[in-house]
Amino acid sequence: MSREATLKIGDLELGEGLILVPMAGITDLSFRRIARSFGANLVVSEMVSAEGLVRENLSTRYLLQSHPEEKPLTIQLFGAEPEVMAEAARMVADKGADLIDLNMGCPVPKVLRQGAGAILLRDPERVKRLVAAVRGAVEIPVTVKTRSGWDQSHINGLEVGRAAEAAGADAITIHPRTAKQGFSGIADWAFIAKVKQELKIPVIGNGDVTRPEHVEQMRQVSGCDGVMIGRGAMGNPWIFEQAKQLKAGRKPSTPSPQERLEVMNRHLALYEELRQGRPSLTGFRSRLMWYTKRLPGSARLRGELGNCRHLETMIKVCEEFFSTL
């Protein structure tokens, strides 16, 4: 992919191909709107159960909330049965999703027990059936997110990628750790290069992109067509703009304490709007901590926030913290 090229998935042109990673409990609508406003070319929903959608589970349907500011939007589905996945795909397409991503890399035990997520790395034929079922059910692009393999003795992410491509996937994202690794160890970007060399569809890299300079480093090592950013964007949505500035040969801008405070408050307001009167003090506290992590005195601040029992008090504590920076 040349420096001037753009990521294209199906008919969608996605600029520099900087994508917000789907993260359960994190990439809700409020976070996605913030990420898009700071240069993410594409955002992905939290992982959504296909079975829950088809059964019309209210908490599952809650995850489909969207807003024009975040478009284009990918809804990520997980499941094990082709017919159920196809029906869920039709439902999210009807709700206005621009892409559908199939999770075949989540290592969480409760997902694995359902025969979904990373367990599918052990059954490429089922991968093919699942992708084919969804591809036949919708007209919007279908992508797959997976890992390098189940464990170090079964590094078959390339085989899974071939199965997905053969079944009609429009792109694939590779997190080059095994399911057994989870998020431990170091992401093997060279494995992404192996997949890129073999497949014709776009290949997106994911894993250990925590600083803006990592984006171009991953591209150089792997040749990937796009880059997913996850934990590096938590409380740091500026990473998308900064990566683009670096690519353009400019020094990346650094947000001032006041800007951090303003964006944090906007994120909290969007989160409160999303919760629709169902306050979550834990949710608010975690988002406040994202924006203050690694700043001078943040360890002391975390202790103070842990003792707060009201949102107004937490915000006041944070405002006082930022005023001292």
The catalytic site residues sit at 106
H helix or E strand, kind and range, residue 126? helix 124-137
Residues 258 and 216: their CA atoms lie apart, in Å, by: 29
Going by the DSSP 8-state scheme, the letter that residue 111 receives in this structure is H
Residues 229 and 207: their CA atoms lie apart, in Å, by: 8
End-to-end CA distance of the chain: 41
Cβ-Cβ contacts under 8 Å for 165 (sequence gap 6 or more): 172, 199, 200, 201
Evaluate whether 162 touches 188 at the Cβ level (below 8 Å): no
- What does residue 304 show for φ and ψ, rounded to 5 degrees? -65, -40
Cβ-Cβ contacts under 8 Å for 215 (sequence gap 6 or more): 18, 209, 227, 229, 243, 246, 247
Residue ranges of alpha helices (H) inside 183-310 are: 189-198, 212-222, 238-247, 257-275, 281-292, 298-307
Q: What is the DSSP string of 251-271?
A: PPP---HHHHHHHHHHHHHHH
Evaluate whether 171 touches 141 at the Cβ level (below 8 Å): yes
Q: Is 206 exposed, middle or buried (0-12, 13-18, 19+ CB in 10 A)?
A: buried
User: Which of 30, 44, 2, 6 is CA-nearest to residue 144?
Assistant: 44
- Residue 295 has which token pair? 């700043």
